[in-house]
Structure formats: structure tokens, C-alpha cells
Amino acid sequence: MNDRGRKKGFGGGPAGAGRKVTEVEIGLLTTLSVPARGSVGKTGSWRTFVPVIDPGRCTKCLLCWVYCPEACVSRDLIIDLDYCKGCGICAEECPRDAIAMVKEEKR
């Protein structure tokens, strides 16, 4: 059985993934989902190249923050490597070439 959604990231709700629940507990069940970071797990594992910021060149223009499709660059320019998919837009768009995409050693 495909157990992807249960193992990675978000589990089977507050009751926990594996525990069986009775019909009385469930009642109405429809496709309602709740917000979560990592809704498909740690998407950082998708990455081949990792962005590395050179603080010496960075002018804090925030373009990398604005362009990141994943909201993985904070306003203090810290990259959330748990979720960064390594798309490379930040490096491509940095007007000062202050971000390099570096081949990542597999963790």
C-alpha cells in the first residue's frame, strides 16, 4: 500500500497515523485539509544544487526573497534548506551574483 502521505511530513492528524479510529469518532469525512509547512514532506530532498549566499557581495535588495516560489528565503536572507527545492531562481536573478548554486553532497 502506498503510505507516502502518512510517513512524510504531515501525519494522519492529531490522533496519529497508524491508530485505527471508529466511525463514531470520524462522523462526517470529506476532503478537508489543514494548513501545514511541509505538506508533502521535506522538499529539500528534491535538491541537487544548493544556493549559497555570499554576504560580502549581497546588498540586501530582497529580490531573492520576492522571487523564491517556495517562500524559503527569509527577509534576513536565511534560506530554509528543509524545504528549498534548489530551483536556482534566486541565483539567476541576483543582480550582484551574490548567490551561487553549489552541487550538494547527498546527506
The least distance separating another protein from the CB of residue 103, rounded to whole angstroms, comes to 14
Q: Which of 52, 78, 82, 102 binds another protein (CB under 8 A)?
A: 82
Is residue 46 classed as helix, strand or coil in its secondary structure? helix
Grid cell of 81 as nine digits:
534548506
**Is residue 15 within the footprint of another protein (CB under 8 A)?**
no
Short-list 71, 70, 69, 68, CA closest to 99: 68
d(CA 93, CA 101): 12
By beta-carbon proximity to another protein, the closer residue of 4 and 57 is: 4
Residues within window 35-64 making contact with another protein, judged by CB under 8 A: 35-43, 46, 61-63
Grid cell of 71 as nine digits:
517562500
Q: Which of 50, 85, 100, 104 binds another protein (CB under 8 A)?
A: 85
In eight-state DSSP terms, residue 43 is G
By beta-carbon proximity to another protein, the closer residue of 35 and 55 is: 35
* Residue 14 burial (CB count, 10 A): 6
Binding site for another protein (CB under 8 A): 1-6, 9-10, 12-13, 23, 26-43, 46, 61-63, 65-72, 75, 80, 82-89, 91-93, 101
